[in-house]
Amino acid sequence: MPTARRARIAIGEFLIDRGDERVTGPQGPVKLGNKAFQVLCALAEREGRLLTKDALFESVWDGMAVSESALTTTVRELRRALGDDPRHPRYIESVYGRGYRLVADVREEDGDSAPQEAPARTPAKPPKKEAAARAPMKGLEAGRPPRISVGDFKDDAVAEKHPYLGASMREEVLLGLSRFREIQVVDAPLNPEEVNERDYRLDVKFLPAPSGAKANVRLQRAQDGGVVWAEMMLIEDEGVGAGVETIVRQIVGAAMPALDQDISIGIGDNAGTLFDRYLVAKRQSVEALDRATAEDAARQLEAIIAEKSDFALAYPPLCRLYNIDYGYTALGASGAVERKRALDLAKEGLAADRSHVHSYTLLGFCHLYHAEFDQAKSCFEHALKRNPFNPDRLNEVATGMTYLGDFDRARHLFEQSDGIQPFADDNSQEDLGRLALLEGDMDAAREHFSRVTVASLWSQLCSAITLFDKDRKTGGKAVARWKARVHEGWHRPIPPTDDEIIAWFRFHHPFRDDAGKPYIDLVTEALTDDS
């Protein structure tokens, strides 16, 4: 639990005296500015837990709009006063792109006692085998995500023609990866004694090409060197700046799905650590084929949140189950109670970590479901600003913009996502098909839906009504097949009426004003057609 606002706190070799607003060290009083003192106190209150940049701006700067350099300058001042080395920290550890945590021991001091002269967390090293088995467990039990160490980008072979290419791209990739809450980005080599099966290394080597340079990119497991993802990317001489930006987006966008899939391999159903339990429950929530399995996933996620309320990753999959009929395993099961629970959870999840982009898109959809359109738009804009590298989040924002009626913005975002992850899967075909349908381009919509390999509930409906618009007889049969699927998956034994199906459809398609009118009218007509 976070430390209460105690009057005197010892941090390693230093003593914080809140009443006197003074820090004392082995050599006597330490000169610190007011902001640096407040940052140190805020870190001490967290007792080694991550303190995000947003939280520091909110508490130390009272929410004032200041540049990020104000914080980095203050932390630099604090490190200098404590004699701390950012590359090998004894006091303040940077969590790249997210914030800071205190790695020194924190103790409460009474009276005028001086802090014990103890180095900041430098216990005797256990044998290598013991350290390797024990060190990662502590972080995972606390919900710490996997780590990616970003190595130097080797550009010696192209340095004459493209000076500073490696350094500039590496910095952009670091910034891009740091926006993913599912991982911890490390701007330094990992300690070999602490490497575990959830640690990775990203390396890039540049080679000459006839018309530019090639980037050989590899994501490997740090423990056994297994290659998780690799690709050779070309940067043309003309427009190097734009080419680098494209490659950065592709590296960041492709590395995350590969890492996520690798982590999920081999995790059993009875995993013990908090992060393992989350991965199992998340996978179960997505893959559930029946309501009982989906509800079990919800119980697991609820238990994780009850145990550790600031484990922000657990909120999105749980809210998804409550918002959409337990992953559409019990059609019609979500109602006002489930949607209210999802909204409350979404707010709690965002409060737990305001840098978690998925929390913003999640809350945006919850606001949509409650017809709070301005709030939804604000959430989507925040998500887009915080992570433009994640194709999943871009698609979610694009879908949100579709419901808000901003079709041009939605199409632009779908195209931006395609540029990061340039392959059209079923989800992207469904998204583009629905957008074309809303824009009135039935031919394009039918073309997109014809490319869907495994039809989801909604892509099957969209495909059916586009056929209905062209040929009522053929389309009517397709609509009937879809209705049979709804009847089979309904949450109660008695099948729904057509009016109930239409109401349920509207419940899951929260369009603003008349944005979805052509779509809604066509669905209504197709479901009530008697010909």
Per residue in 243-294, pLDDT tens? 566 777 777 777 777 777 676 655 555 456 777 788 888 889 988 999 999 9
pLDDT of residue 130: 34
pLDDT of residue 517: 93
- The one-character DSSP state at 331 is B
Residues 184, 94: contact at Cβ < 8 Å? no
pLDDT band at 116 (very low <50, low <70, confident <90, very high): very low
Residue 114 has pLDDT above 70, yes or no: no
pLDDT of residue 67: 61
Report the DSSP beta bridge partners of residue 233: 215
Question: Could you give the percent of the chain with pLDDT greater than 90?
Answer: 36
Average pLDDT over residues 106-126: 48
Residue 330 has pLDDT above 90, yes or no: yes
pLDDT of residue 403: 97
Strands 106-108 and 8-11: antiparallel
**Range among 46-50, 358-362, 421-425 rated most confident:** 358-362
pLDDT of residue 381: 94
Closest CA to 484 of 468, 466, 464: 464
pLDDT band at 186 (very low <50, low <70, confident <90, very high): confident
Three-state DSSP class for 178? Answer: coil
pLDDT band at 170 (very low <50, low <70, confident <90, very high): confident
Please report the DSSP string for 164-209 in residue order: THHHHHHHHHHHHHTT-TTSEEESSPPPGGG--TTEEEEEEEEEEE
Per domain, the residue ranges of the chain are 8-108, 134-264, 424-531
Task: Name which CATH class applies to 8-108.
Answer: mainly alpha
Amino acid at 514: D
Angle between helices 274-287 and 128-141 (to 10 degrees): 50
pLDDT of residue 237: 60
pLDDT of residue 238: 56
pLDDT tens figures, 94-108: 876 678 888 888 887
Longest dimension (CA), the chain: 91
Average pLDDT over residues 16-22: 82
C-alpha distances in angstroms, 196 versus 149, 182, 242, 280, 525? 12, 16, 37, 19, 57
For the ranges 184-188, 299-303, 367-371, 410-414, the lowest mean pLDDT is seen at 184-188
Residues 36, 78: contact at Cβ < 8 Å? yes
pLDDT of residue 278: 85
Amino acid at 518: P
Residue 299 has pLDDT above 90, yes or no: yes
pLDDT band at 529 (very low <50, low <70, confident <90, very high): confident
CA separation for the pair 395, 257 (Å, rounded): 15
Which CATH fold topology does 134-264 show?
Rossmann fold (3.40.50)
Residue 140 has pLDDT above 60, yes or no: no
Amino acid at 62: D
Dihedrals phi, psi of 423, to nearest 5 degrees: -145, 140
C-alpha distances in angstroms, 501 versus 208, 332, 434, 527? 60, 9, 19, 8
pLDDT of residue 231: 84
Residue 522 has pLDDT above 90, yes or no: yes
pLDDT of residue 228: 83
CA separation for the pair 484, 517 (Å, rounded): 25
Buried b (16+ CB within 10 A) or exposed e, 466-494: bbbbeeeeebbebbeebbeebeebbbeee
CA separation for the pair 219, 225 (Å, rounded): 9
